[in-house]
Every structure is written in structure tokens, then in C-alpha cells.
């Protein structure tokens, strides 16, 4: 029993790392293959361990394609700009290390806060549930308030929201429909800009000493963790929306640490939410809950698996990213971006056919507008926020 669980822990870590290294692949995509594993695995506990390990390791691994190609998912998309800016300054390894630092910090804080979360979250959620749409409107208001071009920001947000309402009417699985949407908003525009500008990556520094003050690491981890808690329990709100608000200053370093903390906390809280409020906040959490009823014992298993996974994944990702970045200046960066773009388009067609291709093209246009007008692309998550607000308003 223990040996089997241990095997599935490492298999989950491996699957999450592979999915994270491949641009555009998300754990929600990998969930589609879980029925194949269930056909040969009788122990639901082993599958729970596999799913949690896969989801957590994917968060850590996804920092690499987010930095190298801008092909982020919804959890790391807002970090593409500061991360790639550091890459072009020769500090790409430090950008990945900062993101992982925030994620590890969030994991430690959530472990310490678990008793408080179990005690407080269900009651707070019940009190605030009737006002969720107002909370979402307030968060959007804060995001737009921080923008210089407010009229264009509102237009992009509302356009994404209308697109979201229409997209979920397409004859495509709801879990898969987000793939072309998020690839179009966040991944493809960044790749196209790299190709247009014929971006060349300078030689990277991968052995510089850590000069980030411990106090800044702690503050960034704390703000990111609480931001992740908010996005983990609020429907329609992801890491991209919370990161800009939660960042304690305008420094790239604190931004990336905060984003790493939010991404990890958001994923872990999506599992905890099943136990605390009876709601699955992600496809992987929904899959886990469909395999085994998540009670207190399962909650402890999830926390343990997450802690072990993040430790192993952090070491592996740092080692791999160092090897990649030591050689990245020798790559044909434009050719690699073309290959990544082709891979994403093929995956969109495989999972969503022509509906997804058409949707990704529209989302790419809107994503390019946001880049050209210097608007934070987190506002494009109106594609989820607007339908959620409409739903909780009773329409």
C-alpha cells in the first residue's frame, strides 16, 4: 500500500513536470487521461496522491515556459512581462528562483495556517457568499483604478467578458474551452511579439549570489499567500487578477515572488476548498473529489503530498532551468518560438477542433490589443469574471 502510494507520488510529480515544461499544457488537460489510469488502478487513494502531486509540480515547472516563451497559463500569465524583462537582462535564472521562493514560502505559510483555515473559512464563506458578485466588482474596480488608460481597460475587460459568455455556449467541453481562451490571451500574443521583434536572449548569469533581503521574501510570500487564498475561494478570480493588487511594491523581484506564492496557494486552496466549503475550484480538484470523498484524513494527505512535491519539484526545476539558461544564448530563439506556437495550435485543434482555433484567434487579437495599449492582461480574465458576476446576480 505505502509503496504503491509512493510510486504514484513520483509518477504524479513526473507528469506535472512534463506538462509544465510543455507550453500551454495544464493539469486540467492532463485530467482527461485520468480515466485511463482508473481502469488499471484500483486504489482511489493512490489516484488522489497522483493528482495532487501532478497539480503542485506543474505549478513549479510552469515557471520555465512562462519565462522562456511567454506561453503562460492563467496562473502565471501576469508574470510574463517582468520575468521576460529579467531574462533579457541576463537574470532569467534569478526570475525562476524568485518565483519558486514565493511558492515555497506560500506552502510553509499554508501549513502553519491550516488550523485557522479549517476554523475560519467555512463561516466567512457563508457570510460573504450572498455578496460574492459585489466582491468581484470591487476587485475589478481596483484593477482598473491602477491602469492609466481606464477607458481602454474597461473596454478590454468587457469585451473579454462578452466573449466568455458566448464561448461557453460552444459545443466544447467546459474544461477544455479555457485552453484556447487562455492560450489566445496570454501565450500566443507573447510568442508573436517575440517573433516580430526577433528577440535575442543574452548570455545568462546563473551563479550570482542571493541579494534579496529576507524581509522582502517574507513580505512577498505573506501577501502572495493571502492573495492566493482569496483567488482560491472566489469563483472566477485567478492569480492574474490578484497579483497586481497584492504586490507590495513595484519591484520585479517582489512581484515575481508574490506571483509564485499566489500560484501555489491558489492551486493548493482549490483542493482545500472541497473540504472547507464543498466547492471544487479547479478541474484537478473536481477530478480528485470525484475519485475519493475528501474528508479530514484526505486533507492531511493532500497537505503532506503537496509539501513533499514542492520540495522535490523546486530542486528539479532549478537544476533544469540552470542547464537551459546556460545555453539559451546559443539557441535560435525565433525558431523555437515558432515551434512552440505550432505545438500550441496543434494541441488546441486536438482538444477543441475548429471551434477552439477560431476562439483562440479572436482571443489572440484581444491579447495583442492589450499588449499594444500597455494594459495588464489580467483584465482579460473578465472572460471568467463577467459570467461569474452575472451568475451570482441571479441572471
| Chain segment 34-55, per-residue pLDDT in tens | 665 665 666 788 888 998 999 9
Average pLDDT taken over every residue of the chain:
82
* pLDDT at 110 > cutoff 70: yes
* pLDDT at 174 > cutoff 60: yes
Give 285: exposed, middle or buried? Use CB within 10 Å, 0-12, 13-18, 19+.
buried
Report how far residue 354's alpha carbon sits from residue 96's, in angstroms, rounded to the nearest whole number. 35
Q: Where are the alpha helices (DSSP H) in 168-251?
A: 174-182, 188-197, 214-233, 239-246
Q: Band of the pLDDT at 79, cuts 50, 70, 90?
A: very low
Tens digits of residue pLDDT in 176-224: 788 888 888 877 887 888 787 776 777 887 777 777 888 888 888 888 8
pTM: 0.82
H/E segment holding residue 288: helix 283-291
Q: Which long-range contacts (CB under 8 A, 24 or more apart) does 82-90 make?
A: 82/252, 82/255, 82/256, 83/256, 84/190, 85/252, 86/252, 86/256, 87/201, 87/204, 88/199, 88/201, 88/202, 89/202, 90/202, 90/203, 90/204, 90/205
Rounded to 10°, the helix 132-145/150-167 angle is 140
For the chain, the domain total comes to 1
CB 369 within 8 A of CB 150: no
Can you give the residue range of the structural domain that contains 285? 2-392
* pLDDT at 74 > cutoff 50: no
Residue 77 has a pLDDT of 47
Q: Which range (107-116, 131-140, 183-192, 205-214) has the least confidence?
A: 205-214
* pLDDT at 247 > cutoff 70: no
Amino acid at each position: 500500500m505505502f509503496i504503491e502510494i509512493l510510486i504514484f507520488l513520483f509518477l504524479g510529480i513526473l507528469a506535472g513536470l512534463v506538462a509544465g515544461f510543455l507550453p500551454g499544457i495544464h493539469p486540467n488537460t492532463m485530467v482527461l487521461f485520468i480515466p485511463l489510469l482508473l481502469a488499471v488502478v484500483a486504489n482511489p487513494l493512490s489516484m488522489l496522491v497522483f493528482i495532487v502531486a501532478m497539480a503542485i509540480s506543474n505549478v513549479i515547472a510552469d515557471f520555465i515556459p512562462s519565462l522562456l516563451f511567454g506561453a503562460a497559463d492563467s496562473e502565471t500569465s501576469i508574470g510574463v512581462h517582468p520575468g521576460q524583462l529579467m531574462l533579457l537582462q541576463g537574470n532569467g535564472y534569478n526570475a525562476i528562483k524568485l518565483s519558486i521562493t514565493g511558492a515555497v514560502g506560500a506552502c510553509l505559510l499554508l501549513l502553519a495556517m491550516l488550523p485557522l483555515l479549517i476554523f475560519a473559512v467555512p463561516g466567512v464563506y457563508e457570510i460573504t457568499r450572498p455578496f460574492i458578485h459585489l466582491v468581484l466588482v470591487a476587485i475589478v474596480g481596483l484593477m482598473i483604478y491602477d491602469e492609466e488608460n481606464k477607458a481602454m481597460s474597461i473596454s478590454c475587460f468587457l469585451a473579454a467578458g462578452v466573449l466568455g459568455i458566448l464561448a461557453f455556449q460552444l459545443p466544447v467541453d467546459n474544461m477544455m474551452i479555457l485552453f484556447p481562451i487562455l492560450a489566445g490571451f496570454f501565450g500566443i500574443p507573447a510568442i508573436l511579439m517575440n517573433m516580430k521583434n526577433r528577440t535575442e536572449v543574452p548570455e545568462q548569469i546563473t551563479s550570482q549570489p542571493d541579494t534579496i533581503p529576507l524581509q522582502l521574501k517574507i513580505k512577498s510570500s505573506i501577501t502572495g499567500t493571502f492573495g492566493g487564498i482569496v483567488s482560491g475561494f472566489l469563483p472566477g478570480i485567478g492569480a492574474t487578477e490578484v497579483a497586481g493588487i497584492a504586490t507590495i511594491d513595484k519591484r520585479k523581484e517582489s512581484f515575481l515572488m508574490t506571483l509564485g506564492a499566489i500560484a501555489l496557494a491558489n492551486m493548493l486552496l482549490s483542493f482545500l476548498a472541497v473540504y472547507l466549503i464543498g466547492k471544487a475550484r479547479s478541474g484537478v480538484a473536481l477530478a480528485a473529489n470525484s475519485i475519493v470523498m475528501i474528508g479530514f484524513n484526505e486533507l492531511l494527505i493532500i497537505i503532506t503530498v503537496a509539501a513533499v512535491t514542492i520540495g522535490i519539484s523546486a530542486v528539479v526545476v532549478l537544476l533544469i532551468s540552470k542547464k537551459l539558461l546556460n545555453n539559451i544564448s546559443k539557441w535560435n530563439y525565433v525558431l523555437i518560438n515558432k515551434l512552440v506556437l505550432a505545438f500550441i495550435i496543434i494541441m488546441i485543434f486536438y482538444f477543441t477542433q475548429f471551434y477552439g482555433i477560431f476562439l483562440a484567434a479572436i482571443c489572440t487579437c484581444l491579447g495583442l490589443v492589450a499588449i499594444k495599449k500597455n494594459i495588464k492582461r489580467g483584465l482579460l480574465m473578465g472572460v471568467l469574471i463577467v459570467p461569474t458576476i452575472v451568475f451570482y446576480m441571479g441572471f
